[in-house]
Amino acid sequence: ATPRFRGDTTMEDLPTVRTSLDGGDVTPPGTPRSKEPPATPTTPSIGGAVKSSGWRSLTPYPLEEKWDNVLPVGPADRHRQGVLSNGMRYYVHRAQKPKDRAALALAVDVGSVAEEEDERGVAHLVEHLAFRATQNFGNFEIVRFLESIGAEFGPCQNAYTSMDETVYELLVPIDDAGSKNLTKALAVLSEFASRVRISDADVNDERGAVLEEMRMGRDARGRASEAYWKLLMKDSLYAERLPIGLEAVIKKGNPAVFRKFYQKWYRPERMAVIAAGDFPDLDAVVNEIENAFGKCAPAPGQPHVNPDTPRPPVAFHASPRVTCSVDKEHTKTTITLTFKYPANPISTPGDFFQKTVEEAFKLALDNRLYKLMRKADPPFFSAGCSVEEATRTVSVFSAQIVCEEGKKSVVRGLEAGLRELARARVHGFSEQELKIARAKQIADAQQFFVERDQTYCTSLRDELAGHFLRGELVVGAEEEARMTIACVERMTVEDLRVFAQRCRLDASCVIRAMEGRATVKEADIAAAAAKIQDEENRGLIAKNGAFDVPETLVDAGRLPAPGGVVETTAFSKMGFNVSSLANGVRVATKTTDFLDDQVLVRAFARGGLSEVPEKQYLDALYAGTIAGELGMFGLRPETLFDALAGKRADVAAKTGTYFRRVDGDTSPTDIETGLQLMYMLFTQDVRSMLVPEELEAVLRMQEQAIRNRNRDPASVYNQTIRRLVYGKTFQSAPLRVADVRKMVPMNACEHFNAAFADPSQFTVVLVGAFDEKRVLKMCEKYLGCITAPPPPNVSVSDGAVIGDVWRRDDFENITPAPFTFPKGAVTREIRSYMVEPMSMASITFPVNIKNPDWDVDRRTSVVTVDGSVTLTREKLLCVFATSIIERRLLALLRFKFGEIYTCAASASFAFEDPLARGALFRGDVMINFSCDPAAGKRLARLALEDIKALQLFGPTVEEVASAVEVETRALEVREQENAYWRDYYEAVHNSRLRDLLDGDLDALFSLSEKTRRELMAALTPEMIKEHLQRCLDVRHRVVVVLRPQRPLWRRALLPDPTTAEGLAVLSLYGVAAGAAAYLRLKKKAAQ
């Protein structure tokens, strides 16, 4: 396998603290500056692990002896490979996760760089056509087959085309019920290999979907990436062969050209079929492959000799290339520094060592940039590095810097980034910095080794495709772990300094400044680069200073006395044991064997932002952001980052509409570190971390994010939907720039302190591979010793004490959020100035489920088992109906009319009162798609008519069967994941039936499973139809369409009466016409 450098980011990604709007979370936008902690353990202790992983027993790898050896694919006992008589290669690998699944691929060694001028875009469109029809599968039979077996189908899920390759991918169930799926799936791939239909009608019908995919990729980020790519690859054919191609070819390309390309390049010698899965008999799979692909041959009339694959050279250059990209839709001001050098294929241990050095350099430089952006008045908001194989022949190392808007800020950020690169070239890195990078690399390798028998089949499939296409190492987890240890031990600071010479201004450097409005010029960029080069030449670049890393996170000698277990209850059906600690914390544990190096931890409590009054809302909303930026664990984030090097213990807190959570993901050997972090979060006073100079940078960052967001049409579109669908309340109002300074940072810190202070409000769930007895002792030590603090004395302007929001005994009666769906049909057209014209459309319907427990006379809800079951069934019916709606609209708008690339339909109950105390249980169903600017309203009407037809006539038997099969297969996979059981426990614990059933979570679990499985087994078209008629009233809906703003002259001469502006113009015309008529009459009367 290629090295697991899990820290890699893409050129456009940056280290972030992740916040989410899912599940009712409401979090402010921003460009966060915090990095995620590194992964996996290096400590010799097995901590909370069930058993030793064998890591410490690995034998040394003879790196020097095998330095230049091209290593065979392995391990041999779970792998088969060979070449069919027609020249096609095959790779078969046993992978046991997920159970009863097989990941298949057909890799074709050709991409868009092989296209002629009149073929630009053909390779990608041929990939689309494969799923439309082949010689033996009619129109979309392949899609229907995938849906019928519960396999995923959708954009970017089943195939991709790059400049150098095309790969088709399938993930299919192969259990007893699906024993023939493997045979048929391989037959599908064999059709792709030589029998795609490509009729004139096929090509013409698929053009619209590809054009829409092109439009989707032409947002601000896509435009900037395309322009930057062309500058990077200037003077190479790679610069002109983007896979999406030319609009003219997509719209009007001769279908004969498409057929010619397919026949020329789709040859067995250029292909490999790959199968990785839960195979009991590898040789039987080889036989299946021989039967499916053995007769594939070049198209009739094609030469016997396989044509040479073009691999155009990329010109290297001594002078930096500089560009300033201005796009008013950019949501960030960024600087990108990129350095090109020859690609280093990973086929020998020596290559692996060079990749290890490359990654260590990235990690060390990342760490320096991170510390720099954590300073008071930092030169930039965030920064991060990436290493990518740009083409088969060229690799790129990039540093991306996000800074404040304005010439001064851009130049300052650029100079800071260039100076750090110069410092690495001149002085290299310290032994301390190398030690941290080594720890992270060893940690990643250890995680891969520990979970060697649980690698997902899709990952192995992708590795084997990389081996065929690029010659990458696939040697097995044990061999790779031994190589990693040997490479890391051999690596020195001098190796990193040597690599740093690749990042010189005279070494094929490209610099881009990307802004929303023009403030900086190319001359400013060139001057900044010259300034730093002059500092380097004159020896003015100083060494990097040393920094302190704490030896321990928690002083065990100063911990309060542990809080022991006072009661334990076993719930055997769910597989959980629940222990109550003396301080009121409840600890629920479930041991699994899904992943040997994962323990998921979640502390959850009821009570969220719905409890916060309007005057305190901004403070509470920003509490997590402020705490995360300054140090929610009582340590500065950059210090904590270094302290956690080599450990996998990631912990973060967030507050949603109705809940508070502290989520952790740890290795069993590092679970103690994760629990220490939870102890620190609950006991530290975030106010003590408040440094005015650092806070100012955070506030400016938030202001800039809001300012930038308002320039992005898609962001404005999403804000409008949220505002219209959930009513005009302060919770749903979009944030304004002025709101940032209205927030009181000290109050935000106090909100965070108070929200995560009282341990008795929280239940802690641990799911994964751990020794329950040892881990429970750790919970007693670090969680059981937490005591509730005294009431806070910080008050806000309205006189209410902040802590009163969170110190309640009645969170069982949480405050419902005041979200209301509008009455009637609300249609809003958003006209936005766009660089590239595009359109997005959404339709949202309210879901109103009658509460079966509602007592009309008493105007209250009385919880019953039967009522809860009925409510659960209705919610499940809504989810299945939404799944059917999505597939129908995809079939209608893409497959039939060819006017969209994809669409999404989703059901949400996130903002409804989870206790269901009203007469109705409310949710919504949203449909969303993008399309041609002129088609938004028309396609929205088509979608609405199809939903009305579904409501009137119901779905087909086949549509229901596909929905059930997809959910069944997805459930089989989810049940093998720790996150599923963590979330399931939280849902059962918070159920309104819990008290009614005397806290018997097993009874709740059994009832939930019985309700779901009975519904799935008995689901009929009539049930879906009746549910839609009962709960979905299409008369009430919110339709939002985003379209480009028309030119001013058209708006003036041809006003649109459906917009406020158009009505105003027509009114002015009316006033003007009336005034003119009055003057004529007055003049006539005067005569």
Q: How far is CA 654 from CA 192, 482, 501, 663, 751, in A?
A: 46, 39, 42, 8, 12
Catalytic residue (choose from 115, 119, 127, 977): 127
Annotated catalytic residue 165:
no
471: left (phi over 0), alpha (psi -120 to 50) or beta: left
How far apart are the C-alpha atoms of 821 and 845, rounded to whole Å?
9
How far apart are the C-alpha atoms of 367 and 899, rounded to whole Å?
46
Query: What does R_g of the chain's alpha carbons equal in angstroms?
Result: 30
Single out the residue of 146, 147, 152, 139 nearest to residue 189, CA to CA: 146
Three-state SS string across 79-129, please?
EEEEECCCCCEEEEEECCECCCEEEEEEEECCCHHHCCHHHCCHHHHHHHH
Q: How far is CA 81 from CA 70, 283, 304, 476, 512, in A?
A: 16, 10, 24, 15, 45
How far apart are the C-alpha atoms of 856 and 860, rounded to whole Å?
7
Specify the 3-state DSSP secondary structure of 489.
helix
Q: How far is CA 766 from CA 569, 579, 677, in A?
A: 15, 12, 15
| Residue at token pair 């392995």 | 74
Q: Report the C-alpha dihedral over residues 776, 782, 784, 787, rounded to 10 degrees.
A: -170
Q: Are 152 and 104 in contact (CB under 8 A)?
A: no
How far apart are the C-alpha atoms of 405 and 701, rounded to whole Å?
10
Per-residue DSSP letters for 367-384? Answer: HHHHHHHTSSS-S-SEEE
Annotated catalytic residue 972:
no
Dig out the tokens for 216 from the structure: 């989707």
Specify the 3-state DSSP secondary structure of 998.
coil
- Strand runs (DSSP E) across 854-933, as ranges? 854-855, 860-861, 903-908, 920-931
Q: Are 45 and 669 in contact (CB under 8 A)?
A: yes
Catalytic residue (choose from 206, 358, 535, 780): 206
How far apart are the C-alpha atoms of 1018 and 1002, rounded to whole Å?
24
How far apart are the C-alpha atoms of 915 and 607, rounded to whole Å?
12
Q: Are 122 and 265 in contact (CB under 8 A)?
A: no
Query: Which residues are tagged catalytic?
Result: 127, 206
